[in-house]
Chain A
Amino acid sequence: MSPRLVRLVGLAVAAGGGALLLWLYAAQPATLAEVRGGLTSTVGLYRIDEQAFAEGLDHFRADRFVEARRAFERADPARRDATTQFYIAYAFYRQGWGRVYNDDVLFRAALEALDRADANASEGRVAVDDANLKLPSSDLLRAEVERGLTREWSDLNPLRVLKERQ
């Protein structure tokens, strides 16, 4: 290898390493899986585990939300897939929804998952084609979750018990 080629390769390595450092500071991945997923998604090679996703979907449709989330997390360990994060958010919403009151902790977790979903979506929002969902986009789900977190007089309305889960 000629010295000039060595220098060119070295320059590319230094630039790539610097970019990696900046990305790590900005993205703050919390696990090695997130680091790996972030790097592979940068070059368009990230793929979710389709089988785990299908399992998660089965659990989700059977209202087994904890199991569903676990399967979705397994499918998307790097939290880089917008659709999977959307379903995780939906699982948090459905588990936290109640006729009398909502679970704020689960609703906040839903918002965090929605943030991840929107951040990873190419258009900044997620829309899924699923007839079982009454809120098939991240915008609709976010509005519903935020309404659930807001304290207002209508919360005291007794007819609220007739409201349906979305």
Chain B
Amino acid sequence: MEPRDAIIVEAESLPPEPAAGAAPPARPSTSTPARTPGGGGVTPVDERRAAVREAITLPLLFLGAALVASVRIAEGGALAFSPPSLMALVLGLLAAGLVVQTGVVDLPRLASDRRGGLENANGVAVLLLLLVASAQVFAVLTPERGLFSFVVSTYFLLLLLTTLAARPEPSRVLHSLAVTLGGALLLKFVVLSGLAAPGGSLARRLFSAAVEGITLGALGATHLPPLAGYLAFAALLFFFAGLWLLPRRGR
């Protein structure tokens, strides 16, 4: 077939132009599965699946992450629900920005003028909860006081800014976030909490005293109950499950 014939065939398959004065055709509402693999239309099953993911699964995962990450447990077992600090909010905003910029979430598939009002409301709810969950995850993984609080916050900030500047592939962003946040989890709940744990061997106590001495007492390590670590781990799982299920660019 000649190229000219191909253009004619393509033009014939386009919808007809509306007549002068006639109302424009209604814009199709696009939910997440805008395209199906075979090039066919959106089936009711696809539409329902997308609705469940956008409206139920993703909000519940991000809500779960935010809720679990906000729990603080004192030594006596008393609960506290800590809102994110200003620094954690900034980090959460940067992380949400990173997720959008690098295509971990394809923004038009969550909120755009091609979608209906209810669909956009669901998309905006997902984005808001992503922001809150990100902030809470950074808050729970940052040591609460001392030198490490400053060091870890600064590290998160620089890492997010450099990743934003580099704009890597979505899968690499997820990989990088998993390594960074997993490392922070180990640092706070295993290393620092272990250093501050009461009792233990003489060698461990001598090492903690030496580290405190080297940092002029600014280490600020706090012993945390084991449940706190498990909750932070669960928050990370919820968060990454949510990130993984977001409608990704090119997927």
Query: Residues of A with Cβ closer than 8 Å to B?
Result: 1-4, 6-11, 13-15, 17-18, 20-21, 24-25, 28-32, 35
Measured in the bound complex, the distance between the Cα atoms of B60 and A152 in whole Å is 57
* Contact status of A3 and B56, CB under 8 A, knowing A8-B118, A18-B129, A28-B80: no
- Interchain pairs with CB closer than 8 A, number: 83
* Contact status of A3 and B51, CB under 8 A, knowing A14-B129, A17-B59, A25-B70: yes
Return B122 CB to nearest CB of chain A, in Å.
Answer: 5
Set of chain A residues within 8 Å of B83, measured between Cβ atoms: 25
Set of chain A residues within 8 Å of B55, measured between Cβ atoms: 6-7, 9-11, 13-14
Set of chain A residues within 8 Å of B9, measured between Cβ atoms: none
Chain B CB count within 10 A is highest, among A2, A21, A32, for: A21
Beyond known contacts A7-B51, A30-B79: 9 more, CB 8 A cutoff? A2-B48, A4-B51, A9-B55, A10-B52, A13-B60, A14-B122, A17-B59, A18-B128, A21-B70
* Contact status of A3 and B31, CB under 8 A, knowing A13-B56, A14-B125: yes
Set of chain B residues within 8 Å of A15, measured between Cβ atoms: 125
Chain B CB count within 10 A is highest, among A2, A6, A24, A32, for: A6
Measured in the bound complex, the distance between the Cα atoms of B78 and A32 in whole Å is 9
Contact (Cβ within 8 A) A32 B118? no
* 8 cross-chain CB contacts under 8 A: A6-B52, A7-B51, A10-B55, A14-B55, A14-B63, A14-B125, A21-B63, A29-B81
Set of chain A residues within 8 Å of B121, measured between Cβ atoms: 7, 11
Contact (Cβ within 8 A) A24 B81? yes
B221 within 8 A of A: no
Chain A, residue nearest B74 (CB): A30
- Residue among B50, B54, B80, B119 making CB contact with A30, cutoff 8 Å: B80
Contact residue range for chain B? 20 to 34
Of all A-B residue pairs in the complex, the 9 with the closest CB atoms, nearest first, are A10-B55, A3-B51, A17-B63, A24-B81, A14-B125, A14-B59, A6-B51, A25-B83, A7-B55
Chain B, residue nearest A10 (CB): B55
Set of chain A residues within 8 Å of B48, measured between Cβ atoms: 1-3, 6
Set of chain A residues within 8 Å of B31, measured between Cβ atoms: 3
Measured in the bound complex, the distance between the Cα atoms of B85 and A25 in whole Å is 12
- Residue among A7, A25, A29, A35 making CB contact with B119, cutoff 8 Å: A7
Chain A, residue nearest B63 (CB): A17
Measured in the bound complex, the distance between the Cα atoms of B178 and A8 in whole Å is 32
Chain A, residue nearest B81 (CB): A24
Contact (Cβ within 8 A) A11 B125? yes
Set of chain B residues within 8 Å of A13, measured between Cβ atoms: 55-56, 59-60
Return B112 CB to nearest CB of chain A, in Å.
Answer: 16
Contact (Cβ within 8 A) A11 B79? no
Interface residues of B in 103-140 (CB under 8 A from A): 118-119, 121-122, 125-126, 128-129, 132
